[in-house]
Amino acid sequence: MSSISNVDVCFFWQETPFGVLSPPLGSSRLKAVETVAALVRVSDDTAERTLMGAGLIPRCLELFLRFPFNNLLHHQARCCSHDD
């Protein structure tokens, strides 16, 4: 999963009303963030330590900042950073 934020090595782009996304987020990265968010919601100390140790939560937040207009990503990233 360490490649979920490696968005610089891609040849795809997507036009949006807000500008060009190069590359777009894509369903694979969104699913990876959804998986991290689901593991955070479990509230298991071992899972949380593993996610933090692997650097996955900071990577989810990097994607949050990289794609400012993606509401689905923002919901999942919020779940990674807050106790609901």
Q: What is the CA radius of gyration of the chain?
A: 13
Residue-wise pLDDT tens digits, 38-68: 999 898 999 989 999 999 989 998 998 888 8
Q: What is the pTM of this model?
A: 0.71
Using 50, 70 and 90 to split pLDDT, how confident is the model at 1? very low
Residue at 8 is within a domain: no
DSSP 48-78: HHHHHHTTHHHHHHHHHHH-TT-HHHHHHHH
Residue at 22 is within a domain: yes
Q: Give the pLDDT of residue 11.
A: 57
Residue at 6 is within a domain: no
Task: Look at the chain and report how many structural domains it folds into.
Answer: 1
How many CB atoms sit inside 10 A of residue 74's CB? Answer: 15
Residue at 3 is within a domain: no
CA-CA distance, 80 to 39, in Å (whole number)? 9
CA-CA distance, 8 to 21, in Å (whole number)? 11
**Structural domain span for residue 45:** 14-81
Residue at 1 is within a domain: no
Residue at 7 is within a domain: no
Top pLDDT among 49 and 12 is at 49
